[in-house]
Amino acid sequence: MTGKLTIIGLGPGAPELVTPAAASALAEATDIVGYGPYVDRVPFREGQRRHSSDNREELNRSRHALQMTSQGRKVAVVSSGDAGVFAMAAAIFEAVDLGDRAWRDLEIEVVPGVSAMFAVASAVGAPLGHDFCAISLSNNLKPWSVILDRLHAAAKADFVISLYNAASKTRPDHLAQAFDVFRKYRTGDTPVIFASAVSHPDQKIDVVSLKDADPSRADMRTLVMIGSSMTSIISRPEKASWVYTPRFRKMDLA
């Protein structure tokens, strides 16, 4: 049997946000590999083997998936959101790059998913309507000084910025430091979106201004989005505000 490795993004949480391509790739797999909570989101199928591992095990997990593929298994490696965004797809290709030359002949397919920033953006309007970037605040795989340099550069360039891994127990003050960087370049009324567990039943989204942004609002299931100088809030009586970033400056249209 010829093996195949499929790297699949499961979307932010809701079953409707798993793409049809991801669902059929999951149904074809003999083995599901990934971080435990993500493997648990895959619908059960008789005879399918499940290999759950710890979150920090990315390279070992990738090697294991590649070995099983070499043995002829149909392996699905799962991530939340999009598998190419701070997730397993890059770990698999790194393992191929550094590993057994024979792995380069394997069939490997990456199936895209709905990344958290797109789910968050749609939930509040259109904050990613103009140039934007994404930065992970996790310093497991890169030094904090590099992250700070990138925050400065992105803030200075006036991107809308999505902060992934915005908070963790091991580094409680990093988000506070990030807000301090943005306050150097952006006005206090810049919109900040705290979006937790988006598309899950316990979804919680708050739109605040940069001057009031409280870092303790974020947890490990939160994405924090900081607006650019153009990002605007449309407030509505008794309804959640909309947030959008215009594609043209308002004054150009006036």
Show the binding pattern over residues 62-91: x = contacts ligand SAH (CB under 6 A), - = does not: -----------------xxxx--xxx----
Residue 134 binding ligand SAH, by CB under 6 A: no
* Cβ contact 28:74 at 8 Å: yes
Beta strands of 97-218 (E only): which ranges?
108-111, 125-126, 132-136, 160-164, 191-196, 204-209
The conformation of residue 11, written as its DSSP 8-state character, comes to: B
> What residues between 232 and 251 interact with ligand SAH by CB under 6 A?
none
Which region among 37-45, 92-100, 195-203, 209-217 touches ligand SAH (by CB under 6 A)?
195-203
Residue 49 tokens read as 């083997």
CB of 108 or CB of 163, closer to ligand SAH: 163
* Position 191 contacts ligand SAH (CB under 6 A): no
Quote the least distance from Cβ 9 to ligand SAH, whole Å.
6
- Dist. CA 55–CA 64, nearest whole Å: 15
Distance CA 239, CA 98 (A): 52
Which one, of 13, 9, 34, lies nearest residue 23 by Cα? Answer: 9
182 neighbors 245 (Cβ within 8 angstroms): no
For the segment 143-182, give every residue that binds ligand SAH (CB under 6 A): 164-166
Among 68, 154, 198, 213, binds ligand SAH (CB under 6 A): 198
Is 197 a binding residue for ligand SAH by CB under 6 A? The answer is yes
The total of other beta-carbon atoms located within 10 Å of residue 64's CB is 18
Q: Which residues of the shown chain bind ligand SAH in the complex (CB under 6 A)?
A: 12-13, 79-82, 85-87, 115-116, 164-166, 195-200, 220-223
